Structure 1
Amino acid sequence: MLEKVKIFSKQGVTRKILVLLLACGIFPMILLAGFFFYFYFNGQKQGIGEVQKEIGDRIATNISSYLEKTSGQIQLFAGTLQFRDHNTQELKNLSYALLDQIIEFDKITIADLSGNEISKVSRYYTFRPFELINISQEKSFQDAREGRTHFGKVEISSLSKFPHIRISVPITDVQDRKTGVLTVDVNVLKMWDYISRNSIGDNRYAYIVDSEGFLIAYQELSSVLQKKDLRNIEGIRNLLQGNIGVFEYQGLIGKQVIGANAYIPLTGWGVVVETAAEDAYRT
C-alpha cells in the first residue's frame, strides 16, 4: 500500500513537472509565435498597402498629366481657328483633320459667342445643318466663354456608346479677344488604354470612378458601359468621403482585398488599386 502511494506520489510530481514545463516552455512559444505572425502579417499588409498607394498615385498623376496634355492640344487647335479667315466647310475640314490626328477625340464642336453651333463633326456620325443647335445654356459653353477650360462629367456617348469626357475651351483672335467656344469629346476608354500600358503587377487591378462613385474605366468593358454604381464598396465610400489611404474591405470582384485610393486632379475622379488579401498574404 505504501509503495502504491509512493508511485502515485511520483506520478503527481511528474505531472506537475510536465505542466510546469508546458507553462514555462511551450505556452510562451505559442504566445511568441502568435505575436510573430501578428506582426508579420501586419508588416506584410503595410508593405502591400504602400505598393498599392504608390501605384494609385502614379496612375492618378499619369491621368492628370494626360488630361493636361489633351486640353493643351485642344487649346492649340482653338488658336488656329479664325472665323474671319475660315468658312464653315473649312472649319469642318480642320476638325476632321484633328480627328484623324488624335484617336482619343471623338467629336469636335465649334460655336460662336452666342452659343450657335457653326460646325460639328464626329468620327461616328455625319451631322446635317438642321442638327446644329444653340448650346448657350450649357455650363461647359458658359465656362469656356468666360475664359476657363471646362472638364465635364464622364457620360456615355449617344454616338459611340462609349464613355467620354467633354472638354471646352475659349476661341480667341489674334488680339486675344474671345470669338467662340471649342468643345471636344474625349474617349475615356482610349485614355484608359493609354494609361494601362503602365504595368501594375500580377494579382492586382485598378479602376477609376467619377465624383459620384460610378465606374468609368476598368479592364472589363461591360461594367464600364453599364456605368456601374460602386458606392456599396467601402473603399469607394472612403474615397467619396475624403478618406484617402489604404484599407481592407470587400472589393470590386467580391473578395476581401487590400485597396488604396487616390484623387485625380482636374477631374474629381478617383483611382482605386486592389489586390485580393489571400494573394497578398501568400506572397
Structure 2
Amino acid sequence: MKSIRSELMLVMVLLILIPFILSNLFGYYLISSNFKEKVKGIESDTASAVADSVREFIDKAYCVTQQLANNNDIISFEPDRQKKVILNAIKRYKFFDMFFIQGTDGMQTAKTKGVLGDRSNRWWFKKIMADKKPYVSRSYYSLTGNIAVTSVFVPIYNDGNLVGVIGSDVKLDSLQEIVEKYSDGKGKYIYILDGEGVVIAHPDKKQVSELYNYKTLKKSVLVKDSNGNVLKDEKGNQKKRLQDINVPEKLKEITQKALNGESGVVEYVDNDGEKVISAYKPINLPGNSDCWAVITVHKKSAAMSFVTDVLKNNILMTVFFIIIALIVAYFVSKSITKPIAYMVALMSKAAQGDLTVRSNYKSSNELGKLSESFNKMIKDFTYLVKQIQNTSEEVSSTSNILTTTTQQTNASIEEVAKSVSEVAEGASEQAKDAETGAIAVQKLSKELETMADYINESEEMSNYIDSTNQRGFEAIKILEEKNKDNNEVMKQIVQVVNNLSEKANVIGNIADTITAISEQTNLLALNAAIEAARAGEAGKGFAVVADEVRKLAESTAKSSNDVKDIISTIQNDVELAKETMKISIATVNEQNKAMDYTKQSFNDISDSIQKIVDKIRSINNSLKDVMESRDRVVAVIQNVSAVSEETAAASQEVSAATEEQSAAMDQVSSLAEKLNEMAKKLEEAIKAFKLN
C-alpha cells in the first residue's frame, strides 16, 4: 500500500526535477546552437589566418625571386656575376633551397648548387616560355632535406625582350611549423594543399612524404623488396608506385571548392565515424599561379567540449538539488503524516469495537479539526450503541410472548383444516374421475375426427392418382406412336446412308479414272514437248501448247487426288454413321420393350387404385356411425363431471380459507422466531463494543 509520505516526497521531487530538466535542456539547446556557430566562426578565422600567413610567405619568396630577375648582374647573363648574386641571396634568405638561371634555350648559366644542365625539356620551362608570365609551381618532396619544396619561376627581360628564366626552390618547412602551431593534437589540426591537391604541410608528416593528393585520391609510396629494402630504377632514383587513399566524400568536395577559390565551413563524418567541423579557404598566389588551399579539421566532440562540460555541471547541480529536495520532503511529509498515522491507529481500534478511545492531538489546522470530529463521532456512536442494546432486550422479550401465542392458535386451525380436507378430497376424487372420462372421450373424439379427415384426404388423393394414372396412360400411347414414327425415320436414314456410301464409291472410281487420264495426258504432253524441241523454231508454238496441256493435266491430277481424299473422308464418316445407326436401332428396340412394360405397369396401377378407393369409401361409412355414438357418450360424461366439480369447488374454498389462515399463523410464528433470533444477534453484536 502506498503511503502519503512517499507520495508527498514524489510530488515535491517532481516539482523540482521537472523545471530543472526543462531549463537544462533549453539552456543546452541555446548554448549548443550559439557555440556551434562560434566554433564555425573560429574555424573560419583560423583558416583565414593560416591562408594569410602562407600567402605572405610565398609573396616574400616571389618578391625576392622577382627582384633577382630585375638585377643587372642577372640580366647580363655573365655566369660569374649571376652566381655571385644568387649565392648572396641564398645566404641571406634561409627559406630558399636553391636558385638557378637558364637562357631561352634552356641551358643553365648559373645555380647555387649542383651541375649545370639543359632544362629545355622540363614542363616548368615549357610553361613559362609559352606564357611568359611568372608563377608558383606545384610542390614536390625533397628526399635530401625531407621537406616539401615549391618553385617560383620568373622570366628575365632585357629591354622588353625575354632573355631567360630564373627559378627558386622554396623550402616549405616554415609552413609545417604554421600547421603544427595551429594543431593541438586533441582533435584539431590543419593542413595545406598545393594547386594540384597535394599535401605540402600536415601534422602527420607521412602524408607530406607520400604526397597525399586529395584531388586525385592517390598517394606515392616507395617500392620495397621482400627484405624491406627500397628498390631503385636504372638512374638510381627510388622506385615509387601510386596507391588509393580513402577520404569522406564531403572532404573531397570541399577540397575541390577551395582549389576553385571558394571558402566555407561544413560538418561531415570522417573515416573513423566521428563528426568533424571543417573550414576551407583558398590561398591566392601571385603571378599566373593556381590557388592553394588550407583546410582545418576539428572533431565536433572536442570543439563542443565546453557545452558538454556545462551540461555535466548542470546535471550535477540537478542531482544536488534533488538530494536537498528529498531531505526537505522527508521532514515535511513526516510532520504531515505523523498525526495522520496516529488518527489511523485510533480509527483501527474503534473499528475493532473499542469505543473508549479518544484523540489527544491538538492543533489549529485541519488535522486538529479532524481529531475533534473523531472524538465527537465516538461519543455519539457510544450513545447509539447503548440505545440499541436497550431496544434489543425489549424486542427479545416481546418476540418470546408472540411465539407462544401463535403456536397455540396454529394447533386449532390445523384440526379444522384436517376435517375440511377429508370432505374436499372425496369430492375432488369424484370430479377427477369424471373429468378423466370426459378427457378420454374428448381425446377419442379428436382422434376420430382426425381419422375422418385422413380418410377424406385419402379418398381425394386416390381419385387424383387415378386421374393422373389415366393421363400417364394416354401419354404412353402418344409415346408409343412417336416411337413407331422414329423407327420408320431410322429405317429411312439407314437407306440414305447406304445410298451415300454407294455414291461415294462411284465418285471414287471416277476420280481414279480421271487421275489415270491426267497421268496419261501428262505423259503425252511431255512427249509432245520433246518432239517440239526436236523440231526447233517450227515446233515452238506446239511446245507452248504441249506445256499448257501438261500443266492442265497436272492440275487435273491434283484436283482428282483432292477429290479422292474428300471421298475417302466421306466414306469413313459414312461407315461411322452406319455403326452409329446400328447402335441407335438397338437403342430404339430397347425403348420399344420398355414402352410395353411401362404400359402394362400403368394398367396394373390403375386396377390397384380402384380397389383402394372402394376400401376407403367403406371405411368412411363405418366411421360416420362411430362419430354418432361418440356424441351421445360425451353428453352423459359432461353432466357427471359438472356435478362433481361443483361439489369439489365448494369443499376446496373452505379448505383454502383454512389453509390461508394456517399459513398466516405460520408466517407470524416464523417472523416471531426470526425477530427473537435477530434480537439475540443484536445483543451479541453489541457485546463486541467496549463502552466503559
User: What TM-score does the superposition give when structure 2 sets the normalisation length?
Assistant: 0.34
- 1:170 matched to 2:161? The reply is no
TM-superposed deviation, 1:260? 1.2
- 1:269 & 1:211 partners in 2: Cα distance? 5
Runs of 5+ unmatched residues, structure 1: 1-6
- SS of 2:266's equivalent in the other structure is strand
- 1:34 & 1:198 partners in 2: Cα distance? 36
CA 1:52–1:165 in 2, change beyond 3 Å: closer, same or farther? same
- 1:100 & 1:83 partners in 2: Cα distance? 17
Residues 150, 167 of structure 1: 8 Å contact kept: yes
- 1:237 & 1:36 partners in 2: Cα distance? 36
Code of the residue aligned with 1:134 in structure 2: it is R
TM-superposed deviation, 1:216? 1.4
Map of 2:275 onto structure 1:
256
Map of 2:296 onto structure 1:
273
Map of 2:141 onto structure 1:
156
1:110-137 Cα deviation digits (max 9, x unpaired): 1111222222333xxx32x4xx013255
- SS of 2:145's equivalent in the other structure is coil
Map of 1:105 onto structure 2:
96
RMSD over aligned Cα, in angstroms?
3.5
1:71-118 Cα deviation digits (max 9, x unpaired): 111010111154674532332232222211111111222111122222
Q: 1 or 2, which has the higher helix percentage? A: 2
Residues 145, 181 of structure 1: 8 Å contact kept: no
Candidates 110, 121, 136, aligned match of 2:112: 121
Map of 2:253 onto structure 1:
238
Residues 101, 165 of structure 2: 8 Å contact kept: yes
- 1:136 & 1:35 partners in 2: Cα distance? 67
Residues 212, 240 of structure 1: 8 Å contact kept: no
Candidates 50, 59, 64, aligned match of 1:59: 50
CA 1:259–1:280 in 2, change beyond 3 Å: closer, same or farther? same
- 2:181 & 2:28 partners in 1: Cα distance? 34
- SS of 2:168's equivalent in the other structure is strand
Map of 1:205 onto structure 2:
189
Candidates 192, 196, 210, aligned match of 1:226: 210
Map of 2:84 onto structure 1:
93
- SS of 1:143's equivalent in the other structure is helix
Give me the identity figure in percent. 20
Larger Rg: 2
Code of the residue aligned with 2:291 in structure 1: it is G
Residues 110, 180 of structure 1: 8 Å contact kept: yes
- 2:25 & 2:45 partners in 1: Cα distance? 30
Candidates 35, 40, 46, aligned match of 1:44: 35
- 2:279 & 2:26 partners in 1: Cα distance? 26
Moved more, 91-100 or 106-115: 91-100
Map of 1:214 onto structure 2:
198
Map of 2:128 onto structure 1:
143
Count of residues in Structure 1 that have an aligned counterpart in Structure 2: 262
TM-superposed deviation, 1:272? 1.5
- SS of 1:39's equivalent in the other structure is helix
Residues 257, 276 of structure 1: 8 Å contact kept: yes
- 1:247 matched to 2:247? The reply is no
CA 1:192–1:176 in 2, change beyond 3 Å: closer, same or farther? farther
CA 1:161–1:57 in 2, change beyond 3 Å: closer, same or farther? same
- 1:118 & 1:245 partners in 2: Cα distance? 46
CA 1:182–1:86 in 2, change beyond 3 Å: closer, same or farther? closer
Map of 1:4 onto structure 2:
none
Higher relative contact order (CA 8 A, sep 6+): 1
- 1:181 & 1:86 partners in 2: Cα distance? 11
Residues 106, 125 of structure 2: 8 Å contact kept: no
Q: 1 or 2, which has the higher strand percentage? A: 1
Residues 75, 157 of structure 2: 8 Å contact kept: no
TM-superposed deviation, 1:46? 0.9
CA 1:251–1:244 in 2, change beyond 3 Å: closer, same or farther? farther
Runs of 5+ unmatched residues, structure 2: 218-246, 307-692
- SS of 2:112's equivalent in the other structure is strand
- 2:201 & 2:97 partners in 1: Cα distance? 17
- 1:87 & 1:269 partners in 2: Cα distance? 36
- 2:59 & 2:206 partners in 1: Cα distance? 28
TM-superposed deviation, 1:32? 5.4
- 1:134 & 1:172 partners in 2: Cα distance? 19
